Amino acid sequence: MLTDYIVHCPHAGCGWSGPLFPQGNREDFRAALPSFHDVVFECPRCQNEWAAEVIGDDVKPLLDEELAAH
């Protein structure tokens, strides 16, 4: 099921928050339980991207050192 997430842009000085769909293949979201754990968002204000980990119905932004571990 395609869903959006309520997110906050983690980039300094931006401060944008709101609902966003993850970037990528929308077919990945059609299953009842999507097979992904990491997603990427693009901020509509500052246009920067960031990675996040899906945890239940929420997402947690990944720090650079966490990205290296995934």
Q: Which residues pair with 68 in a beta bridge?
A: none
Question: What's the pLDDT score for residue 38?
Answer: 85
Q: How far apart are CA 13 and CA 65, in angstroms?
A: 21
Write down the pTM of the prediction.
0.71
Which residue's structure tokens are 């246009």? Answer: 47
The CA–CA distances, whole Å, from 18 to 7, 9, 43, 70 equal: 6, 9, 10, 26
Domain ranges, residue 60: 5-69
Query: pLDDT by residue (tens digit) across 23-49?
Result: 875 555 555 555 557 889 999 999 999
Report how many domains make up the chain: 1
